[in-house]
Structure formats: C-alpha cells, structure tokens
Amino acid sequence: MTLFARHALSLSAIALASLSLTACGKKEVPPVAGNEVIITIGHAAPLTGPQAHLGKDNENGAVMAIDELNSRGISIDGKKAKFVLVSEDDQADPKAGTTVAQKFVDRKVNGVIGHLNSGTTIPASRIYSEAGIPQISGSATNPTYTQQGFKTTFRVFANDIHQGQALAQFATQSLKAKTIAIVDDRTAYGQGLADEFKKAAEAAGAKVVAQEFTTDKATDFKAILTKIKASNPDILFFSAMDAQGGPALKHARELGLKATFLIGDGGCTPEFIKLAGNAADGQYCSLPGVPLEKMPGGTVFKDKYQKRYNQQIQLYAPYVYDAVLVMADAMQRANSAEPAKYLPEVGKSQYQGVTAKVVFDAKGDLAAPAVSIYQDKGGNWSYVETVGAAAAAK
Amino acid sequence: MDIFLQQIINGLVLGSIYALVALGYTMVYGILGLINFAHGEVVMIGALVSYSVMMVLVPSGLPPVLLALISVLVAAPVCMALAWAIERYAYRPLRHAPKLTPLISAIGVSILLQNLAMMIWGRGYHAFPDILPAIHFDIGGAQITLLQTVTIGLAAATMGILAWMIQRTSLGQAMRATAENPAIAELMGIPVNRIITLTFIIGAALAALAGLMVGANYSVAHYYMGFMLGLKAFTAAVLGGIGNITGAMLGGLLLGLIESLGAGYIEDLTGGILGSHYQDIFAFLVLIGVLVFRPGGLMGERVSERA
C-alpha cells in the first residue's frame, strides 16, 4: 500500500526536479570570473522525509568544509578558488537519486559528495562514473558501491564487509565465542552483514551452530529462537534493524536463551534499548568508525559544529566534512579542479582528516577502516573498543 | 522433546491471537459476504490506544495488571466506535452495490487508518510495557510465561462466550437469521441494520483485546502492525472456512501451530534445503492443500451456497 504513496511521491519529485532543471539551464554560471575559479561541489542526501535529520546533518558537515576552504584562500592554477556547494534532496529514493545525479552532471559540477544511503548512492554512481565526476560518500555502507569497477567511487566510511569482519573478530577474540547462531532479516543489509560475519567467524575457528531467518516486518521470533536455544550457542548475532532486534532479544531471554547478543549498526540505537528493556543490559552492538571523542580532530569539530548550528551532531557530519576536504586536497595536488585531471589524485590521498587518516585502497574504500564496539550499560550504549577491520581481513 | 513442546506453546499463543482476529473477519463475512480488510487496522488501533493509555497511567504506580485492564476498557470502546463509523459511512452506503465496491472501500479504509495512526503515533516502534510479572512455568523442560498462559486462557474464554452467545441468545439467533437471508430476516421483524452494526462492534471488541495481546506478547506496537496480522488472520478464517465461527477458531489455532512447527522443523524435514525463511510458504502450502480438497475450508459449507 505504501508502494502507491511512494510512487506518487517520486513522480511528483521527478516533475519538480525537471522543473528546476529547466530553471537551472537559464542562468548558466560562468566557470571563470576574472581571476577567480568557481568550483562547484554537489551534495546529495535526503533533506525531506523520515531521514531528513540525517541528511541535514550531512549537509551541515559539507557547508562547514566549504566555508573553511573559502576562508583559507586557496589558489588553483594561479587563480583564486571559490568553492560553491550545491545541495540537492534525493529523498532517500533511488529514482530521485538518479534524477539528482543527472542534474549534477548537466550542471557540470566538479565533484559530488554523497549520497547518504546505499540505495541511492549505488544507482547514482553509474551516472557520475559515465560523466567522469569523482564521488565520495561519507555514509553509504553497502560494499557493492565500490565494487562495480568504477574509477570515480570513493568512501570515507567502513563498509559492511569491514563491519561483519570486525564483529566476528570481537566475538571470537574478545568474547572467546566457540559456537555462534546467526539470524538475518533477508534484506540487502541484514543478509550482507550476516554473510560477512559468518565467513570471518568460521575463518577464526568458531562454529555456526544455527542459522535462521526472519523478515524486516516480523514481530514473532519465538519459533526461530526456540530452535536456536536447542543448539545452545555462545553468541547470537542478530543481523537486522533495531525494530526486530530489540523485541527478539527480549523474547530470547523469556525463552531462557542465554547467549550473548550481538547486533550491527542497525541496532546500535537508543530505540533498540527501549524495545529490549532490561534484556539489553550487557549486550553488544557495532558502529563503523570511531566515537567522536576518539577521532583525531573529533572534539574540535564537535565544538565548532555545536557553536555554528546550536545542536548535536547526528551521525555522519564529520565524515562528510572530511570527504569534502579530501576532494579539495586532491584538486590542490593536481593543481586543477577539472574532474579528469584531479581524479587520479583522489586515489592517492594521504589526508589527515578529523575522523581518521584517509588513505584509499584500489577500490576506493578506506585502506584501514575502523569499527567500534559498544555495550549497553544501564540503558546507554557505551564504548568498549575499536576493532581494526584491516587486521581481521588478512 | 522440550523443544517440540516449546514450539507447540509458541504456536498456541500465536494461534489464539490469530483466532481472535479471524473471528472478526468471519462474523462480518458470514453476515454480509464482505471481506472487511480494515479489521487488521482496528486491531492495530486497539494496540496503540492500549499502549497510550498505559503510558499515561504508568506514573500513577498502579499494578500493571490493573493498567492492562483499564487500557482494554478504553481501547475496546474506541475500537467499537471506530467499527461503527466504518460500517456506517464506508460500507452501509454500498450495501446494495456490486460486491467488489465495498471491498475497495475496505482497502481504502485500511489505508486511511494506517495513515491516521502514523500521524497520531508516528512512524516509530513503541515498546509495549510488561503487563504481567515475568513468571515462568516449567512444563517438561519448556517455558511458558504467565502472560502466555493468560493469553491462551483469555482467548479460549472469549471464544467460548462468543460461541454461546451466537448459539443460545436471541441476539445470536438474529445474527444467524440475518446471515441466512437478510431480506427474509427483515420481513420477520429482525432489525437487520442494527444486527449488522452489532456484528461489527462485537468484532471490534475482540480486535481491541487481540491488539492488547499482540502488543503484550510481542512487546512492540506500531502503525503498520495490522496489515500482516490482518492478512494472516484472514488466511486463518479461510483455512477454517470463512463465515464459520468454529472454523475461524480452529483455523487460527492451526495456522499458529503450523507456522511455529514449520519454522522449527522445516529445515530438518527437508534435510536443510529449506530454512526458516520458508515459514510463511509452509503455512500457505497447507492452506492450498486444504482448499484443494475442501474448497470451503475445514468447517465451511456456506461459501459454496453463497458463491
């Protein structure tokens, strides 16, 4: 039923977008004004709908980076560089995402930061790749994004492979788990994460004693939990979102299943603790990246952000901030803002950002991404340790 | 063995809830020949109203059992009023329209209620408070909580009262007469419109109770929960023979047991080829099997007469 609503929404979005497209065509911005070079950076994220708060947070990060670049007075190719951010709303919808991408290409932006969701980032990346425009995402975690063979795709965030490996490393080394049960919700996210976790856990010598499945709309998990209880695992890895994970943990305890509960970033939310209640105490979750306080420039960035926007950082703002600066850094080294000229330099980045030192591997993923583990202590997720996914990969 | 017993308990709890919701579908179908697709949404409203009432009353420090009782006493009239309004404004004007028209109206009401609930309660998932202390009983190695015992008991009692009412009271007699032939019933002096409204209202009261049970047993409530539940309960009603009260109870319990045992044993039965993600397929395979051999459902005969 929501399908119809979504359809109508995206239709109107396309209509709107095409309207603004024509509007754009009329007032063409001259790329060079006197002794100044205008560098346009496109930013795409959902700025309306249920994820609007996250999209706005990303945009704030990008705006801060752009302002800082302009205040530095960078000159490229002998001309003063003026950075301009063009922010577009992709509504977290793949169809709207490709419309936005086409719009950026038509406008001949110098680079793109985004998108926020994997679902929009992946289809849009093809359009940028064909136009040869470099793209850096600060939040899309699906591994497929950088595995399509495009030269223009980069990411300054750990992907699901890294997260699955890090969780498995934590389970087998820190928790010393020998037997593991896995439940996944059959979504691209849940299944992908579960597969990576399973591979890494088995490689580390643990035994997967039960693998069960649910859906992202399920409310009854007792049948599969009862089955899992029979195999008596040390660890239950629940690869799904908080809305399923929370109640499932509660029901697991009601059934007398005592396994330590582990969930990925989809469950690393206050919502999870609310739904699981007391059962969440002492259980673990993972988030790509490191907590703000552990980032090289985290506290400074946090203060700057709060001073400027008078609110807390939601999630990805520091990563998006770094993404913009990595892109500008590559332009400076290439001494050009032409996509074709500075693209090879993006891959060679050695940039010390606020989140980490950004070095890319051959695919455009971080060479040494970090994933952090958190534990529920008295109703709050508190930091336990950071697991280097690079170590688990070897 | 304890695992088998545990799956039976899981199935019975799930089945009791399906049965309560299925009754709402089957009673309306029996009388009007209408599949009231909005019924699942009435359950959802029941759960969310109970949730809100409990959230308001939690600071008062009353015992949780009393909270649950008060919440259902509020939720039931809300659901009954809602069902009355749905019948009065979405179905009654279409009483003599072709059969497809009220069905579309029902789907419309369902979407309307979902969006209304989304506006009132938001898109989030709400953690349902525990209404009974977490007491476990041990039966041959299987765990059954006090809540599960109460759920099964309460559902059984409600269904018993309903069956008695339909078979033994004059209201039940009037309902059966209306189901048999509305025109003749009206000629016999039965206020058909009022009987139809009452049928909707009784179904809604059961839905409110089911909503509370779903929320309490699965400890979560949200605006979309009625859709899948409604679909499953409708399946249960068809399995038992739609239009037949005993059939709905039987169908509900059976579907709950099939789902539970299906998820638990499908992997072993198929030698690991099919996993628990085929849980729903298992349930629907049984439905198809039953319908092939008994097109009217397990207890149904009336469907063929009506068709």
Put simply, the answer to whether A254 touches B134 (Cβ < 8 Å) is yes
**Distance (Å, rounded) from C-alpha A259 to C-alpha A217?**
24
> Chain B residues with CB inside 8 Å of A211's CB?
275
Distance of residue A92 Cα from the nearest chain B Cα, in angstroms: 16
The pLDDT score that the predictor gives to residue A270 is 85
Q: Residue A209 has which token pair?
A: 């004693």
Put simply, the answer to whether A223 touches B3 (Cβ < 8 Å) is no
Distance of residue A96 Cα from the nearest chain B Cα, in angstroms: 22
User: What is the DSSP-derived secondary structure letter of residue B140?
Assistant: T
**Distance (Å, rounded) from C-alpha B75 to C-alpha B68?**
10
Locate the domains of chain A by residue range. 32-158+293-363, 161-287+372-393
Which of these, A294, A246, A292, lies nearest to A266 by C-alpha position?
A: A246
Q: Which residues contact A248 (CB under 8 A, 6 or more apart)?
A: A183, A214, A221, A225, A238, A240
**Distance (Å, rounded) from C-alpha A190 to C-alpha A167?**
13
The pLDDT score that the predictor gives to residue A33 is 55
Closest residue on chain A to B221 (Cα): A219
| Cβ neighbour number for residue B4 with a 10 Å cutoff | 16
Put simply, the answer to whether A246 touches B124 (Cβ < 8 Å) is no
Which of these, A382, A378, A357, lies nearest to A367 by C-alpha position?
A: A357
The pLDDT score that the predictor gives to residue B137 is 87
**Distance (Å, rounded) from C-alpha A219 to C-alpha B114?**
17
For chain B, positions 103-122, list CB contacts with chain A under 8 A.
107, 110-111, 114
For chain A, positions 145-174, list CB contacts with chain B under 8 A.
none
Work out whether strand A380-388 and strand A370-377 pair parallel, antiparallel, or are unpaired.
antiparallel
> Chain B residues with CB inside 8 Å of A243's CB?
125, 220, 222
Put simply, the answer to whether A213 touches B277 (Cβ < 8 Å) is yes
Put simply, the answer to whether A186 touches B220 (Cβ < 8 Å) is no
> Chain B residues with CB inside 8 Å of A223's CB?
7, 10-11, 259-264, 276, 279
Put simply, the answer to whether A275 touches B264 (Cβ < 8 Å) is no
Put simply, the answer to whether B218 touches A246 (Cβ < 8 Å) is no
> Chain B residues with CB inside 8 Å of A242's CB?
125
The pLDDT score that the predictor gives to residue A392 is 36
* Burial (0-12, 13-18, 19+ Cβ within 10 Å), A259: buried
Segments forming the whole domain that contains residue B171: 2-122+141-305
**Distance (Å, rounded) from C-alpha A366 to C-alpha A354?**
14
**Distance (Å, rounded) from C-alpha B138 to C-alpha A275?**
26
Q: Any CB–CB contact under 8 A between B14 and chain A?
A: yes
| Cβ neighbour number for residue B249 with a 10 Å cutoff | 28
Q: Any CB–CB contact under 8 A between A256 and chain B?
A: yes
Closest residue on chain A to B272 (Cα): A211
Which of these, A111, A113, A101, A24, lies nearest to A76 by C-alpha position?
A: A111
Q: Residue A64 has which token pair?
A: 């801060």
Put simply, the answer to whether A246 touches B222 (Cβ < 8 Å) is no
Q: Any CB–CB contact under 8 A between B259 and chain A?
A: yes
Distance of residue A285 Cα from the nearest chain B Cα, in angstroms: 19
Nearest-Å Rg of the Cα atoms of chain A is 22
Nearest to A274 among B127, B225, B261 (CB): B127
Distance of residue B14 Cα from the nearest chain A Cα, in angstroms: 8
Q: In a mutagenesis test of the B interface, which of A195, A254, A272 is the best target, namely the one with the most B β-carbons within 10 Å?
A: A254
Put simply, the answer to whether B11 touches A223 (Cβ < 8 Å) is yes
Domain covering A161-287+372-393, topology: Rossmann fold (3.40.50)
For chain B, positions 30-89, list CB contacts with chain A under 8 A.
none
Put simply, the answer to whether A243 touches B220 (Cβ < 8 Å) is yes
* Burial (0-12, 13-18, 19+ Cβ within 10 Å), A186: middle
Q: Is A331 within 8 Å of A110 (Cβ atoms)?
A: yes
Residues of chain B with pLDDT under 70: 1, 301-307
Q: Is the bond preceding A115 in cis, omega lying within 30 degrees of 0?
A: yes
* Burial (0-12, 13-18, 19+ Cβ within 10 Å), A116: buried
- Spell out the per-residue pLDDT of chain A, length 394, in tens: 444 444 444 444 444 444 444 444 444 445 555 688 999 999 999 987 777 888 899 999 999 999 999 999 899 988 999 999 999 999 888 999 999 999 999 999 999 998 998 889 999 999 999 999 999 999 888 899 999 999 999 999 999 899 999 999 999 999 999 999 999 988 878 888 999 999 999 999 999 999 999 888 788 899 999 999 999 999 999 998 888 999 999 999 988 899 999 999 888 888 899 899 999 999 999 988 888 888 888 899 999 999 999 988 888 899 999 999 999 999 999 999 999 999 999 999 999 999 988 999 999 999 988 899 999 999 999 999 998 644 433 3
Half-sphere exposure of A343 (CA within 13 A, CB side): 18
Is B179 part of a structural domain of the chain?
yes
Q: Residue B202 has which token pair?
A: 């009784």
Is B181 part of a structural domain of the chain?
yes
Q: Any CB–CB contact under 8 A between B260 and chain A?
A: yes
Q: Residue B154 has which token pair?
A: 């309460």
CATH homologous superfamily of domain A32-158+293-363?
Response regulator (3.40.50.2300)
Nearest to B125 among A1, A243, A254 (CB): A243
The domain total for chain B is 1
Which of these, A84, A94, A83, A85, lies nearest to A116 by C-alpha position?
A: A94
Q: Any CB–CB contact under 8 A between A275 and chain B?
A: yes
> Chain A residues with CB inside 8 Å of B111's CB?
1
Is B185 part of a structural domain of the chain?
yes
Q: Which residues does residue A235 pair with via DSSP β-bridges, in sequence order? A: A180, A260
CA angle A241, A247, A248 (to 5 degrees): 80
Q: Is A372 within 8 Å of A286 (Cβ atoms)?
A: yes
The pLDDT score that the predictor gives to residue A170 is 95
**Distance (Å, rounded) from C-alpha A390 to C-alpha A365?**
12
Q: Any CB–CB contact under 8 A between B219 and chain A?
A: yes
Work out whether strand A207-213 and strand A179-184 pair parallel, antiparallel, or are unpaired.
parallel
Put simply, the answer to whether A224 touches B6 (Cβ < 8 Å) is no
| Cβ neighbour number for residue A292 with a 10 Å cutoff | 18
**Distance (Å, rounded) from C-alpha A214 to C-alpha B276?**
7
Q: Any CB–CB contact under 8 A between A278 and chain B?
A: no
User: What is the DSSP-derived secondary structure letter of residue A205?
Assistant: T
CA angle A140, A8, A120 (to 5 degrees): 10
Distance of residue A188 Cα from the nearest chain B Cα, in angstroms: 15
Which of these, A164, A122, A127, lies nearest to A139 by C-alpha position?
A: A122
Q: Is A159 within 8 Å of A141 (Cβ atoms)?
A: yes
Nearest to A212 among B10, B259, B275 (CB): B275
> Chain B residues with CB inside 8 Å of A251's CB?
218-219
Put simply, the answer to whether A229 touches B3 (Cβ < 8 Å) is yes
Distance of residue B167 Cα from the nearest chain A Cα, in angstroms: 34
Provide the ipTM.
0.84
Put simply, the answer to whether B3 touches A212 (Cβ < 8 Å) is no
Put simply, the answer to whether A186 touches B277 (Cβ < 8 Å) is yes
Put simply, the answer to whether B10 touches A274 (Cβ < 8 Å) is no
**Distance (Å, rounded) from C-alpha A162 to C-alpha A152?**
21
* Residue with the two structure tokens 């520091």: A318
